[in-house]
């Protein structure tokens, strides 16, 4: 069985480039950190950066997910056909993502990390630069998890993911199946964070997404239900 979501040859080439370039930049940055003379402050910063990176990745995944789920339409210039269409299509057919190959799953997220990874490699790393270590290690961790976000998302829809993945999901280390299923309840207005999902309860408690949507409306940005392909009718919502 093949995915019904189509991509152009140019999109496929960009995805391949993104994966290769992101892996090269992550490897280079990791080598620079590992080979630098680190003092105790830098080592402590390195440990703290792992947790910071996880939260940054989850926050970034939530913001991007909310942006393309709720803002604009499939006719929005550039973003509509290249990003919004894919996110809205996922609502129509949540299981199609499980049919995506490696590049289709991880290509776009890899492309999203290239600019920050390039900037990271311009920063000095070494003893006496604990604050730089904190920033670099946090963003490298966030970049790795950002690249893996769609893979975690795919596994959250997979009926029989690998045993290790199930173990990680059940312990809340990566996005869980039951946790993510809440997002697919019509009208898809919560649980946008899809790396680990750790921030979803916080975002819900402070009404972050509904307040962001109200702000976007006041700015005149077309919203989800302005898209003719998504009627605001619960009976029109696809069953997962």
What is the model's pLDDT at position 35?
A: 86
The pLDDT of residue 237 is 42
pLDDT of residue 5: 66
- Phi and psi for 71 in degrees, rounded to 5? -105, 140
Q: Determine contact, residues 74/230, Cβ cutoff 8 Å.
A: no
**What is the reported pLDDT for 232?**
46
Residue 123: C-alpha distances to residues 116, 131, 133, 139, 214 (Å): 11, 11, 9, 12, 38
Cβ-contact 44, 130 below 8 angstroms? yes
The Cα-based distances of 135 to 120, 125, 126 in angstroms read 9, 10, 13
pLDDT of residue 240: 41
- Residue bearing tokens 């996922």: 90
pLDDT value of position 233: 41
pLDDT at residue number 82: 78
Q: State residue 238's pLDDT score.
A: 41
> Would you state the pLDDT for residue 226?
58
Q: What stretches in the chain show pLDDT beneath 70?
A: 1-5, 126-128, 225-240
Say how far apart CA 141 and CA 106 lie, in whole Å.
16
Distance from the Cα of residue 93 to its chain's centroid: 19
pLDDT value of position 227: 53
């Amino acid at each position: 069985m093949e995915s019904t979501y189509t991509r152009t040859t140019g999109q496929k080439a960009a995805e391949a480039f993104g994966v290769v370039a992101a892996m090269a930049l992550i490897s280079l940055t990791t080598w620079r950190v590992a080979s630098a003379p680190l003092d105790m402050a830098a080592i402590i910063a390195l440990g703290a950066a792992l947790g910071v990176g996880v939260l940054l990745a989850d926050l970034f995944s939530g913001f991007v997910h909310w942006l393309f789920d709720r803002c604009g339409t499939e006719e929005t210039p550039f973003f509509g056909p290249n990003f919004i269409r894919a996110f809205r299509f996922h609502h129509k057919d949540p299981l199609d993502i499980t049919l995506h190959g490696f590049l289709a799953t991880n290509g776009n997220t890899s492309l999203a990390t290239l600019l920050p990874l390039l900037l990271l490699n311009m920063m000095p790393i070494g003893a006496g630069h604990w604050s730089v270590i904190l920033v670099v290690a946090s963003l490298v961790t966030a970049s790795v998890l950002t690249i893996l976000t769609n893979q975690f998302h795919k596994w959250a829809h997979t009926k029989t993911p690998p045993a290790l993945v199930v173990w990680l999901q059940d312990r809340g280390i990566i996005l869980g199946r039951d946790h993510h299923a809440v997002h697919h309840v019509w009208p898809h207005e919560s649980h946008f964070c899809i790396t680990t999902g750790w921030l979803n309860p916080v975002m819900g408690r402070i009404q972050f997404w509904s307040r962001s949507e109200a702000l976007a409306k006041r700015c005149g940005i077309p919203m989800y239900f302005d898209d003719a392909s998504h009627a605001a009718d619960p009976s029109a919502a696809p069953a997962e």
